[in-house]
Amino acid sequence: MGKDLIQKSLKDSLFTGIIALALFGPIVGLRTVAKNEVLVVEPKWFIVLLIVAFCAIGRFFINIYSYKKEQRRGEPSSLGKAISNFLDEKGAQIAIAAIAFSIIFPFMPFADRYWMDIAIMMMTYIMLGWGLNIVIGLAGLLDLGYVAFYAVGAYSYALFAIHFGWSFWICLPIAGLFAGMFGILLGFPVLRLRGDYLAIVTLAFGEMIRILLLNWYELTKGPDGLTGIPRPSFFGLPFKRYPDEGVETFHTFFGLEYDPMQRIIFLYYLILVLALITNAFTIKIRRLPVGRAWEALREDEIACKSLGVNPRNTKLTAFAIGAMFGGFAGSFFATRQAFISPESFTFIESAIIVAIVVLGGMGSQTGVVLSTIFLIGLIEVFRDFESYRMVAFGGAMVLIMIFRPRGILAKRKPTITMGKHG
Amino acid sequence: MSETLLDVQNLTMKFGGLIAIDDLSFSAKKDHITSIIGPNGAGKTTVFNCLTGFYKATAGSMYLSKNNNKMDLKKFSDFKVAQKAGVARTFQNIRLFPQMSVLENMMVAQHNKLMTASGFSILGLINSKSYLQKEKEAMEISKYWLDIIGLTNRADDNAGDLPYGDQRKLEIVRAMCIEPHLLCLDEPAAGLNAKESAELNKLLKFIKNDKKTGILLIEHDMSVVMGISDHVVVLNYGKKIFEGTAKQTKNSPEVIEAYLGTED
């Protein structure tokens, strides 16, 4: 410590103050007010002064604090590390506890319609995150257009269900298949691309699908969207208060009172099961040759080629399988909403899913869950603050990147160990 | 005399106007270590890249004798050279999968075999016995090679965390996991200390003698080249300037000239 540090910090905080003044001066300080039907600039210098002072003083203390932290360097004290160690040791128990909690969640006293809706939404994002984790986390292909497959799944489910009247359980695999095919369709042209270039092309692909949906009016009804998508039934038993003549419903079959929550709870379990299937599949396939080839491809494509691994097939399977789960999630989304339009499949959705995967720690299944709870939960908590929601969202991302630059759970477990087999 | 494994005739590689390899012919024998040496920029690595399918040669032929039939290496593009023809290679700057464990590195090398065994993942997903059996065999092979280079106790550590010398050795045995007929090593001794170099010599001799795998070696470290090569090909500016045994090479005036220049 000493004079030198304080002097440096003061200089630094002064500089921060100047930047803050330059930024906030025009944005916050100059406000236009309508007076006598003319716009007049009304300066608000006091608020600007407060913000600038806050930035400068904050910067000063951060400097002092980080100096102290530097002194303590060497001690493993980071909270994130402790969390990831804890998760490593108790991983299995925590997973079981989390699954048990998700199962009993709908019967918790506080689980009203609002909480159930949030839970369903989070579960959908978790499933999408797990699906995209195959593409980004395992195969290392930065896909910014994942929402396209979500859209393809949703629209193919909706179209098959509306036009052919097929049930959810028939349309679901078809939707997955269609999305998987689109995954391969995207995969072919981008086989040779890597990194930033791949990201741009996938981004464009996502937009192309959205614009296609918007303009192919005969099929998709364009911006009007598709309405009247059949609700899912409980293995043939619909959730309806007043069933059609001679049709048994869920509540009459089980002799229950009709309650709209029954359908919500069913939807919750549906997405829970779909998400858990995605997770189990990913965990399993990661340990198979194809899963190891994905990770090897992420690490070094040239080395893969030199070992005879076919990079084309390996990439295409990653795209196809990732897209398939996106398609499953999409068909769930369609049946839950009963109405879909291109509005729901904008780039921001892709960005959120990518953020979930990256912030969770690439390739980490648990990380996806934690970052979903964190990010989506935060967006929900800040719902009442409207435009500050996105500020909180961005802030959360920045915080994670500062404290856990490689994601919440960055540690990777080997897919196969010598210890186990001797 | 052992039979010819690799036969390269009139190989030429041009990058635009630059001729990287100029009408190069040489052959490598089975159970031989054939070294390719030459000053920097002589085109050694380009020869490797042509052989292993990373580049498409402009002209010439490359034939690999495999179980008494000749395979045209030019027919195979990149990964197929390793998959179908059994030509494995390592790289000048080590290319391991650093974030994956040592054992996983070895398993990826056995990908094609395991992929078939896993029924393109379908049999693997349902834990079929035949797949588990094959996976166990692959583990045994990995363990066999890791025992040889003394890395079995580090099998579950990340490959990127190994010391440099161990990474070199790991890359070589990983290439051996594809059960190649020809192993191409691009400067395996670069950056190794004397002790590690000696260990490398031992490993390469073992591969040559016990595994009956032909080795093609690019190397600058003359103690390695002279110590283990059965045959040396010297390149300069893409042309072959000398070919012979290690001893002949050492005394060849052309080679000395290429490395040290001529007296005025």
**For the residues A313-335, what does the mean pLDDT come to?**
92
> A133 with A201: CB under 8 angstroms?
no
| Predicted confidence (pLDDT) at residue A149 exceeds the cutoff of 90 | yes
A318: distance to nearest CA of chain B, Å?
A: 13
Q: What is the mean pLDDT of residues B92-114?
A: 88
Query: Residue A237 maps to which CATH number?
Result: 1.10.3470
CA-to-CA separations, A411 to A414, B99, B100, B137, in angstroms, rounded: 10, 10, 11, 28
Predicted local distance difference test score (pLDDT) of residue A401 = 78
Mean pLDDT confidence for B166-188: 88
Burial class (CB in 10 A: 0-12, 13-18, 19+), B58: middle
Nearest residue on chain B to A298, judged by CA atoms?
B97
Query: Using CB atoms and an 8 Å cut-off, which of residues 2-61 of chain B contact chain A?
Result: 52-54
B79 and A300 in contact by Cβ < 8 A? Answer: no
Q: How confident is the model at residue A81 (pLDDT cuts 50, 70, 90)?
A: low
Asked if A309's CB is within 8 angstroms of B112's CB, the reply is yes
For the cut 80, the answer to whether the pLDDT of residue A312 exceeds it is yes
Residue A325 banded pLDDT, cuts 50, 70, 90 = very high
Report the run of H or E that residue B217 belongs to, with start and end.
strand B214-218
Asked if A417 reaches chain B (Cβ–Cβ under 8 Å), the answer is yes
> Tokens standing for A317?
């399977």
What mean pLDDT do residues B239-261 have? 80
- Indicate if A93 and A213 belong to the same structural domain: yes
Whether residues B77 and B12 share a domain: the answer is yes
Q: Which helix (H) or strand (E) holds B185?
A: strand B182-186
The region of weakest confidence among A273-287, A378-392, B231-245 is: A378-392
Q: Domain containing A238: what range?
A: 82-421
Choose the weakest-confidence range: A32-46, A125-139, A239-253, A362-376: A239-253
How far apart are the C-alpha atoms of B171 and B169, rounded to whole Å? 5
- Contact at CB, A300 and B139, closer than 8 angstroms: no
Per-residue pLDDT for A14 more than 60?
Answer: yes
Report pLDDT for B30: 82
Give me the pLDDT at residue A422, please.
Answer: 42
Residue with tokens 């980004």: A136
Residue A126 has pLDDT above 80, yes or no: yes
Is B124 in the A-facing interface, judged by CB distances under 8 Å?
yes
- The verdict on A303 and A408 lying in the same domain is yes
Same domain for B230 and B171? no
pLDDT at A76: 44
Q: Are residues B189 and B79 in the same domain?
A: yes
CA A96 to each of CA A366, A412, B194: distance values in angstroms, whole numbers, following the listed order: 12, 20, 53
Under the banding of pLDDT at 50, 70 and 90, the label for residue A74 is very low
A88 CB within 8 Å of a chain B CB: no
> Looking at the structure, do residues A59 and A97 belong to the same domain, yes or no?
no
pLDDT on residue A421: 45
Residues A34 and A164 in one domain: no
User: Average pLDDT for residues B226-239, to the nearest whole number?
Assistant: 84
Name the average pLDDT for chain A: 83
* Lowest mean per-residue pLDDT among A95-109, A244-258, B162-176: A244-258
Residues 6+ apart with CB under 8 A from A293: A304, A309, A314, B108, B111, B115
Q: Is the pLDDT of residue A2 over 70?
A: no
Shared domain for B137 and B57, answered yes or no, is: no
C-alpha B27/C-alpha A11 separation (Å) is 70
* Structural domain that includes position B144: 94-178
Residue-level pLDDT at A132: 92
pLDDT confidence tier of residue A77, bands split at 50, 70 and 90: very low
- Overall number of domains in chain B: 2
For residue B24, the surrounding DSSP H or E stretch is strand B18-29
pLDDT computed for residue B213 by the predictor: 83
